[in-house]
């Protein structure tokens, strides 16, 4: 098993910038097909932290049984995942110009393909944590007691009842190798998460379901890495962990930040040009 190269934080900042730039390349190519830009941009640092420093994966052997698993439950943020997989050399960079094309590896929502590091087909919200529970139980039965499972979810996604059924199961079976990250950007397709369906205190709710709760700025790479390292360094843990990552939807682009309308939208050449200038100046 080849552990990830330990990037410096300066390199990770550049990697997150590259995620955003490549998300726009994909969106521009998609044209009238549109893209879920807000969700991809808010999760850039989370994915960079996991793939470039935290997760134990081998880009040369994406099927290695002892790999850590990553599940993008908020599948509409697929562009950001594709970008980090391209950065690792798992997906060819030439695929950027095929996003959403017929037969492309880069589908609008992730389509299961272990050869390119996509563990499950996702996008039907509320399913990722259940997949993680099944994966963790299955690995244990096979004698794999080391691999971890990371699940990235959206805060709006937590409206789904299946999330809480899976949360109870993970706690009941003491699946401490599961780490959920919730991208808390406060917006979903129908409006703000608070107005759409208020869930009260996320921290209190997850703790009540038997999880260890960690809160972090989801755009602070040092804080993210420190949080993940603290979780993985727990001594004799009995609980799964959830990271409440506070983020900005559309982070890095002025006309997208905090804008519900950019949950899904179409990127024109003019919008692309403006975004590229802003991201490069970050």
Q: Quickly state the pLDDT bin for 147 (edges 50, 70, 90).
A: very high
The pLDDT value recorded for residue 35 is 97
Q: Is the pLDDT of residue 215 over 50?
A: yes
Give kind and range of the element (H or E) at residue 83.
helix 78-87
Residue % of the chain over a pLDDT of 90: 95
* Whole-number Å distance between alpha carbons of 86 and 48: 12
**How does pLDDT run across 48-62, given as a tens digit for each residue?**
999 999 999 999 999
* Per-domain boundaries in the chain: 9-280
Residues 79, 95, 8, 11, CA torsion sign: negative
pLDDT at 2: 42
Does the pLDDT of residue 19 top 60, yes or no? yes
Q: What's the pLDDT at 1?
A: 41
- Express each pLDDT in 261-276 by its tens digit: 999 999 999 999 999 9
CATH number of the 9-280 domain: 3.40.50.970
At 117-146, the pLDDT tens digits run 999 999 999 999 999 999 999 999 999 999
- Per-residue pLDDT, averaged over 40-48, amounts to 98
Mean pLDDT (whole number) for 165-169: 98
Give pLDDT, residue 245. Answer: 98
Q: How confident is the model at residue 4 (pLDDT cuts 50, 70, 90)?
A: low
Does residue 5 have a pLDDT over 70?
no
Average pLDDT over residues 235-255: 96
Contacts of 251 (CB under 8 A, 6+ apart): 20, 41, 42, 44, 219, 257
Q: What single-letter DSSP state applies at residue 59?
A: T
Question: Is residue 257 a contact partner of residue 228, using CB atoms and an 8 Å limit?
Answer: no
**pLDDT of res. 6:** 75
Coil, strand or helix at 151: strand
> Average pLDDT over the chain, rounded to whole?
96
Residue 217 pLDDT exceeds 50? yes
pTM for this prediction? 0.96
DSSP state of 237: -
- Residue range 195-207: mean pLDDT, rounded: 95
**126 three-class SS:** coil
CA distance 176 to 15: 29
Q: How many CA atoms lie within 13 A of 63 on its CB side?
A: 4
User: Which distant-in-sequence residues (6+ apart) come within 8 Å of 227 by Cβ?
Assistant: 214, 216, 243
209 vs 167: CA distance, rounded Å = 7
């Amino acid at each position: 098993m080849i552990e990830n190269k330990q990037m410096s934080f300066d390199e990770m900042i550049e990697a997150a910038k590259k995620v955003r730039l490549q998300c726009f390349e994909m969106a521009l190519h998609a044209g009238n097909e549109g893209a879920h830009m807000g969700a991809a941009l808010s999760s850039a640092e989370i994915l960079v932290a996991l793939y470039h420093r935290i997760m134990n994966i081998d880009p040369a052997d994406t099927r290695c049984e002892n790999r850590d698993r990553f599940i993008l439950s908020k599948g509409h943020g697929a562009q950001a995942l594709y970008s980090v997989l391209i950065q690792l050399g798992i997906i060819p960079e030439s695929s950027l110009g095929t996003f959403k094309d017929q037969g492309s590896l880069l589908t609008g929502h992730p389509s299961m393909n272990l050869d390119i590091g996509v563990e499950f087909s996702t996008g039907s919200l509320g399913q990722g944590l259940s997949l993680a529970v099944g994966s963790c139980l299955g690995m244990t039965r096979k004698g794999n007691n080391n691999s971890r499972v990371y699940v990235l979810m959206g805060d709006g996604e937590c409206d789904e009842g299946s999330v809480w059924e899976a949360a109870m199961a993970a706690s009941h079976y003491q699946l401490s190798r599961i780490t959920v990250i919730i991208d808390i950007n406060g917006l979903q397709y129908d409006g703000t998460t608070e107005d759409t369906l208020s869930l009260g205190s996320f921290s209190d709710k997850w703790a009540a379901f038997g999880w260890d709760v960690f809160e972090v700025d989801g755009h602070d790479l040092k804080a993210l890495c420190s949080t993940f390292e603290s979780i993985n360094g727990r001594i004799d843990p009995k609980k799964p962990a959830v990271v409440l990552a506070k983020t900005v939807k559309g982070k890095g682009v002025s006309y997208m930040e905090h804008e519900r309308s950019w949950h899904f939208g179409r990127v024109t050449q003019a919008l692309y040009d403006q975004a590229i200038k802003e991201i490069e100046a970050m």
